[in-house]
């Protein structure tokens, strides 16, 4: 039985664990025999140093030593490296750590590791997950599967003897690591564990505590002892003290760890001041430290409480603590007090993630398929596939054997490797099932062999399956956020998100949907179908989610014209490692495009961040004004509180230097999107009322135009639509009301196009617009339209209007042609 490996690629420390025959061990660093490898990389001339040895260079050349890069995975950020004369990405730095972990195994076990399960925070988005996969491939792994960290922690806990309490009560994983926080709600009632829900924050971890120590304790002491006045510029790459930043983070981390077991710690280091080495010593009392970090710990507790509230009524038995930062006494005490649940601390918080990843690697079901020719020289290869559950809590399990070719005359035999079971030779059929006994509390390896008609065992035709009795597996991984597409609402001039996959759906996932094209493609390479893909809540505004990529089909790729409004079929797939693939089929041309979606690394510009927060403040002001008109004092009060928070956030963003080296811009952007979501929630009532007003206006307009211009068939359709929309008056979903309004608006506009006066209004409206794709072509159409008006050929304006409308940018155009609002909302 081959060994399998799980890797915890951590912000602060990384580990690799080895699974074999149901048992897991953490591979120690052969250089210093620690189980953990510091996630630190140092570039020297001609070599790369990783781990503890890399940290040793912080005093000599801190500008070439890098840590904490996990939090920037999936971003466009780069780290300039003086020693090699170029910049490196977080992916490259992570790959160096993974290479070092592979080296551990080759030294300690003399094994080549090509496949591994690598853990990522559950709150990582698709871009960050993809960056982790790229780092693994760069490190030399040929097959990688990603596993969410709280899922790994759950597997580590459930496989601890005595953990299961014999009930079906749910339990929580509270995972507070060096850089990220995750919480998961686990249901053990089924055959395998199931992750019911999760919450997380990619910028909530021990590193933030270290920054607090630097800001609140070390920098004030430095300013007093050195007289330096520009220490607030410490995080800038251009600061004369920038080399000091990572040194201070490291000594702050050491002090934080010491405070886990002592009432007081001292931050001590040497510093060159005025050409003299000066010893700096800063005392920190645990009571002072606890007071500083309590609000920060309460942020994590609030996330857990929110998750628990979503599952009110479910009994939760305990909280499992993992992640090195949970060694902090305040964290353990506060979690237990705030949640009122017992805390389980019987697993090593530092190694649990890697151990759980190794269990997951061992429980993965791999295709057990082998092929070969029988000794009689038959030209037809015999191919078998054997399937069985990877784990079991029963005394027996069922093996399924499938033969790909006609098995006439061949036989099979199942044996358990320990010699305790032998099925004997039996006739092989296309599909065979066999009930086999298991050794309790052991790893059961079954081998399946095939013989020919003469009883000769076919060489190379053997399948092996493994069942771990008494161990638990996980029932898939949940999708951490909705995956959405951005949908234009041309009638309202805005967009909203439509969910393709919803949060907590179990991976892998597939779905197909059909959308109308928003433009006409005629071979022009400048024309392009664009569809934005977001990760976040589908019920929130697009600004509250993060765009992770775009689907693109260029005009020069089509074999024949594709008319605006024609259907495009989209097929979305997400695998178990959250890799997203999208294919598209244009119904008008029959063409299928398989490589139309590309993930985008996250880029945050300080100036754009400030502009985004200012737009948020404007939206809050508008919403507050509307709430005052509606006499909604509760919403007004809540919006004013958000205005205060957003104003403070803008001040923080304004203080960001373009060359800021910290993670603050990511944290500020995450808080901005969280505020957008809160504003959206508070203004949902306003949007519902507005949506109903728009619906009522279009409803009245539809009845008017169908009475004047509608056919009997259209009148019947209108009656049917109105009956379908009968419960909208009580609907609390503005998107559903908007969808209904779009249905009747499109129908009203289709009918109204028969009205010559409407076509004249549309032409006058279009004639006054700007921003056409071809101004010369638009002017020619306008001249033709004026000629038709002069000749009293108003009915012929419809074709002119449709061509003019197609020349407008998508956001200024309707899905159904020139169907403008005619004064209706």
The rounded distance, in Å, linking the Cα atoms of 82 and 65 is 10
Phi, psi of 397 (to 5 degrees): -145, 165
The rounded distance, in Å, linking the Cα atoms of 154 and 363 is 14
* Residue with token string 């080495």: 277
Count CB-CB contacts under 10 A for residue 570.
20
What's the pLDDT score for residue 370?
43
- Six token digits for residue 635: 């919403």
- Average pLDDT of adjacent 10-residue blocks, the chain of 825 residues: 87 94 88 89 93 89 91 94 93 98 91 94 94 97 95 91 80 95 91 88 93 92 82 76 84 94 92 83 95 94 94 90 94 94 91 95 59 44 79 89 85 93 94 94 87 86 82 85 82 74 94 86 82 90 91 86 86 94 91 88 92 95 90 91 96 88 91 92 77 83 86 87 77 73 82 81 85 87 90 85 80 43 36
Under 8 Å between Cβ of 224 and 217: no
Cβ-proximal residues to 274 (8 Å cutoff; 6+ apart), any chain: none
The rounded distance, in Å, linking the Cα atoms of 256 and 296 is 14
Which class for 714: exposed (0-12), middle (13-18), buried (19 or more C-beta within 10 A)?
middle
Count CB-CB contacts under 10 A for residue 576.
15
Q: Which secondary structure element, helix H or strand E, spans residue 699, and what is its range?
A: helix 684-709
Under 8 Å between Cβ of 401 and 386: yes
DSSP three-state, residue 112: coil
Pairing outcome for strands 115-120 and 4-8: parallel
Q: What angle do CA 226, 228, 234 make, to 5 degrees?
A: 115
Q: What angle do CA 496, 499, 501 make, to 5 degrees?
A: 160
Count CB-CB contacts under 10 A for residue 423.
16
The rounded distance, in Å, linking the Cα atoms of 620 and 639 is 6
Q: Where are the alpha helices (DSSP H) in 50-159?
A: 52-55, 90-108, 126-138, 149-158
Q: Where are the beta strands (DSSP E) in 295-334?
A: 316-322
Q: Give the CA-trace dihedral at 696, 702, 705, 709, to 10 degrees.
A: -170
The rounded distance, in Å, linking the Cα atoms of 39 and 67 is 6
Helix 90-108 and helix 126-138: axis angle, to 10°?
A: 50
Exposure of 464 in the CB half-sphere (CA atoms within 13 A): 9
> Closest Cα partner for 68 from 621, 824, 662, 757?
662
The rounded distance, in Å, linking the Cα atoms of 370 and 569 is 38
Cβ-proximal residues to 302 (8 Å cutoff; 6+ apart), any chain: none
- For residue 349, what are the CA distances in angstroms to 69, 322, 396, 507, 582? 21, 4, 34, 26, 38
Distance of CA 508 to the CA centre of its chain: 14
Cβ-proximal residues to 470 (8 Å cutoff; 6+ apart), any chain: 392, 393, 440, 441, 442
The rounded distance, in Å, linking the Cα atoms of 616 and 637 is 17
What's the pLDDT score for residue 519?
80
Cβ-proximal residues to 818 (8 Å cutoff; 6+ apart), any chain: 762, 766, 801, 802, 804, 805
Under 8 Å between Cβ of 597 and 581: yes
What's the pLDDT score for residue 812?
53
Under 8 Å between Cβ of 245 and 219: no
Under 8 Å between Cβ of 504 and 222: no
Count CB-CB contacts under 10 A for residue 795.
12
DSSP three-state, residue 200: strand
Cβ-proximal residues to 575 (8 Å cutoff; 6+ apart), any chain: 507, 508
Radius of gyration of the chain (CA): 32
> Closest Cα partner for 386 from 453, 416, 443, 431?
431
DSSP three-state, residue 630: coil
Cβ-proximal residues to 680 (8 Å cutoff; 6+ apart), any chain: 539, 540, 541, 544
* Residue with token string 């001041």: 273
Phi, psi of 31 (to 5 degrees): -85, -35
Query: Buried b / exposed e across 593-630, counting CB within 10 Å, b at 16+?
Result: beebbebebbebebeebbebbeebbebbeebbebbeee
Helix 684-709 and helix 712-724: axis angle, to 10°?
A: 160
- Six token digits for residue 607: 């100036």
- The strands making up 40-44's β-sheet, listed across from edge to edge, are 47-50, 40-44, 65-67
Per DSSP, the residues of 646-677 read HHHHHHHHHT--TTB-SSHHHHHHHHHHHHHH
Under 8 Å between Cβ of 29 and 137: no
What's the pLDDT score for residue 491?
45
DSSP three-state, residue 760: helix
> Closest Cα partner for 132 from 36, 14, 24?
14
């Amino acid at each position: 039985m081959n060994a399998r490996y799980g890797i915890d690629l951590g912000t602060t420390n990384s580990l690799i664990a080895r699974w074999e025959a149901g048992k897991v061990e953490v591979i120690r660093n052969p250089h210093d025999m620690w189980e953990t490898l510091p996630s630190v990389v140092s570039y020297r001339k001609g070599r790369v140093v990783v781990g503890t040895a890399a940290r040793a260079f912080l005093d000599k050349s801190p500008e070439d030593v890098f840590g904490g890069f996990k939090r920037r995975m999936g971003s466009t950020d780069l780290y300039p490296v003086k020693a090699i004369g170029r910049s490196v990405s977080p992916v490259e730095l992570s790959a160096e750590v993974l290479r070092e972990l592979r080296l551990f195994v080759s030294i300690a076990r003399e094994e080549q590791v090509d496949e591994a399960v690598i853990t990522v925070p559950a709150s990582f988005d698709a871009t960050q997950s993809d960056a982790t996969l790229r780092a693994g491939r760069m490190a030399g792994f040929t097959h990688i599967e990603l596993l969410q960290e709280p899922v790994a922690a759950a597997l580590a806990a459930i496989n601890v003897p005595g953990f299961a309490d014999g009930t079906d009560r749910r339990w929580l994983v509270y995972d507070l690591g060096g850089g990220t926080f995750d919480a998961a709600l686990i249901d053990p009632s089924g055959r395998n564990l199931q992750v019911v829900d999760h919450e997380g924050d990619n910028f909530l971890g021990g590193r933030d505590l270290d920054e607090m120590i630097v800001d609140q304790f070390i920098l004030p002491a430095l300013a007093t002892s050195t007289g330096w006045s520009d220490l607030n510029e410490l995080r800038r790459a251009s600061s004369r003290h920038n080399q000091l930043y990572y040194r201070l983070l490291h000594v702050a981390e050491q002090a934080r760890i010491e405070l886990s077991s002592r009432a007081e710690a001292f931050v001590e280091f040497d510093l060159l001041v005025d050409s003299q080495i000066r010893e700096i010593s800063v005392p920190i009392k645990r009571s002072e430290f606890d007071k500083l970090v309590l609000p920060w710990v309460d942020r994590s507790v609030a996330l857990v409480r929110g998750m628990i509230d979503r599952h009110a009524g479910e009994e939760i038995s305990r909280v499992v603590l993992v992640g090195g930062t949970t060694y902090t006494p305040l964290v353990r005490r506060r979690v237990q007090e705030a949640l009122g649940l017992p805390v389980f601390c019987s697993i090593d918080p530092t190694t649990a993630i890697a151990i759980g990843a190794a269990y997951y690697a061992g429980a993965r079901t791999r295709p057990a398929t082998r092929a070969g020719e029988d000794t009689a020289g038959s030209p037809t290869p015999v191919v078998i596939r054997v399937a069985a559950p990877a784990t079991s809590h029963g005394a027996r399990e069922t093996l399924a054997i499938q033969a790909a070719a006609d098995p006439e005359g061949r036989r099979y035999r199942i044996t358990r490797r320990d010699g305790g079971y032998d099925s004997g030779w039996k006739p092989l059929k296309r599909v065979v099932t066999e009930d086999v006994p298991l050794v309790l509390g052991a790893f059961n390896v079954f081998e399946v062999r095939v013989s020919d008609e003469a009883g000769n065992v076919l060489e190379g035709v053997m399948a092996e399956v493994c069942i771990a009795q008494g161990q638990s597996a996980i029932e898939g991984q949940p999708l951490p956020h909705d995956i959405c597409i951005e949908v234009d609402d041309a009638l309202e001039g805005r967009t909203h998100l439509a969910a393709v996959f919803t949060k907590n759906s179990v991976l892998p996932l597939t779905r197909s949907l059909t959308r109308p094209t928003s433009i006409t493609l005629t071979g022009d390479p400048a024309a392009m179908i664009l569809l934005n893909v977001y990760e976040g809540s589908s019920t929130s505004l697009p600004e509250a989610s993060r765009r992770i990529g775009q689907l693109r089909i260029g005009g020069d790729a089509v074999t024949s014209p594709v008319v605006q409004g024609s259907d495009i079929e989209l097929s979305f797939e997400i695998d178990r490692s959250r890799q997203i693939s999208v294919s598209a089929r244009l119904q008008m041309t029959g063409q299928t495009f398989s490589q139309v979606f590309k993930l985008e690394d996250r880029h945050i510009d300080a100036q754009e961040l400030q502009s985004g927060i200012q737009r948020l403040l404007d939206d809050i002001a508008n919403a507050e004004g509307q709430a005052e008109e509606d006499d909604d004092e509760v919403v007004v009060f809540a919006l004013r509180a958000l205005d205060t928070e957003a104003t403070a956030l803008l001040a923080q963003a304004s203080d960001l230097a373009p060359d800021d080296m910290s993670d603050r811009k990511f944290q500020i952007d995450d808080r901005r999107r969280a505020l957008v979501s809160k504003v959206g929630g508070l203004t949902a009532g306003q949007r519902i009322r507005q949506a109903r007003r728009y619906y009522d206006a279009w409803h009245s307009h539809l009845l008017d135009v169908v009475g004047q211009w509608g056919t009997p068939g259209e009148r019947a359709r209108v009656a049917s639509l109105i009956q379908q929309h009968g419960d909208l008056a009580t609907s609390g979903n503005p998107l559903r009301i908007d969808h209904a309004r779009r249905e009747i608006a499109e129908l009203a506009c289709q009918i109204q196009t028969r009205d010559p006066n409407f076509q004249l209004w549309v032409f006058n409206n279009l004639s006054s617009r700007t921003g056409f794709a071809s101004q010369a072509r638009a002017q020619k159409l306008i001249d033709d339209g004026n000629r038709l008006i002069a000749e009293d050929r108003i009915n012929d304006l419809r074709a002119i209007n449709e061509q003019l409308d197609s020349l407008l940018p998508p956001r200024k155009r309707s899905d159904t042609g020139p169907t403008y609002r005619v004064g209706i909302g």
